[in-house]
A and B are shown apart, each in its own frame.
Chain A
Amino acid sequence: EVQLVQSGAEVKKPGESLKISCEGSGYRISSFWIGWVRQMPGKGLEWMGIIYPGDSDTRYSPSFQGQVTISADKSISTAYLQWSSLKASDTAMYYCARGTTLDGFDIWGQGTMVTVSS
């Protein structure tokens, strides 16, 4: 079964750093894009960025460029989303999803809730 399994919920303070993960299984991770999508409470989906683990080609939305870092370790079939200094406004659900230029995002992770509060 093809699936993406994300790391668990996080509660952090403003200014702290964080790295969340997304592990793929049931397929060859190096052959597909993995993207990250933010959903703030009660709001819509926002495309943050995407990485191709095969060659680490990474694209960011201008809205998130410089705010987060996307990386991947294909040897363990895992992609990451990280922040160096969290803000309260980073409080959201974060989804990873498998992407292709054929069909967009066909497989989604279960989501990681990040809460940033003092």
Chain B
Amino acid sequence: EVVMTQSPASLSVSPGERATLSCRASQSASTTLAWYQQKPGQPPRLLIYGASTRATGIPARFSGSGSETEFTLTISSLQSEDFAVYYCQQYNNWPWTFGQGTKVEIK
């Protein structure tokens, strides 16, 4: 199965600053890569699919890039509601697999 590795495990960022999250696949995922945001007590929410397409209603400060094995989620100017855990997921090969998550915390 494709192993997804996210880095860093946690990130401390001040509101208004930029956050860059990485996700690496153990084999090619093409651009079938999604990013999800999860806040405590809530189900995950789809942010980005196809590596770079924002899901419906997702603010433009969220952007995704990458292909094959290297992917990045960038939050251009962190807002208070963006502090959460972020997961990447490949859906190119069965089984679909998630990364272990990156927690974005307030600095």
What is A's interface to B at a CB cutoff of 8 Å?
A: 35, 37, 44-47, 49-50, 59-62, 95, 97, 99, 101-106, 108-111
Look across to chain A and name the residue whose beta carbon is closest to the beta carbon of B101. A44
Are B95 and A60 in contact (CB-based, < 8 A)? yes
What is B's interface to A at a CB cutoff of 8 Å?
A: 1, 32, 34, 36, 38, 43-46, 49-50, 53, 55, 85, 87, 89, 91, 94-101
Minimum C-beta distance from A55 to chain B (A) = 16
Which residues from chain A contact B53 at a C-beta distance below 8 Å? 103
Which residues from chain A contact B45 at a C-beta distance below 8 Å? 108
Are B34 and A105 in contact (CB-based, < 8 A)? yes
Which residues from chain A contact B46 at a C-beta distance below 8 Å? 103-106
Look across to chain B and name the residue whose beta carbon is closest to the beta carbon of A49. B95
Which residues from chain B contact A44 at a C-beta distance below 8 Å? 85, 87, 98-101
Look across to chain B and name the residue whose beta carbon is closest to the beta carbon of A61. B95
Once A95-B43, A105-B34, A108-B44 are accepted as A-B contacts, the answer to whether A45 and B101 lie under 8 Å apart by CB is yes
Are B43 and A111 in contact (CB-based, < 8 A)? yes
| Cα of A61 to Cα of B46 in the assembled complex, Å | 21
Which residues from chain B contact A106 at a C-beta distance below 8 Å? 46, 49, 55
Q: A59-B95, A102-B49 provided; 16 other pairs, C-beta below 8 A?
A: A44-B98, A47-B97, A47-B98, A61-B1, A61-B97, A95-B44, A97-B43, A103-B49, A104-B32, A104-B34, A104-B49, A105-B89, A108-B43, A108-B45, A109-B43, A111-B43
Which of A44, A62, A109 has the most chain B CB within a 10 Å cutoff?
A44
Are B87 and A45 in contact (CB-based, < 8 A)? yes
Look across to chain B and name the residue whose beta carbon is closest to the beta carbon of A101. B91
| Cα of A99 to Cα of B87 in the assembled complex, Å | 16
Look across to chain B and name the residue whose beta carbon is closest to the beta carbon of A105. B46
Are B96 and A50 in contact (CB-based, < 8 A)? yes
| Cα of A110 to Cα of B45 in the assembled complex, Å | 11
Which residues from chain B contact A104 at a C-beta distance below 8 Å? 32, 34, 46, 49, 89, 91, 96
Partner of B95 from the list A62, A95, A97 (CB cut-off 8 Å) is: A62
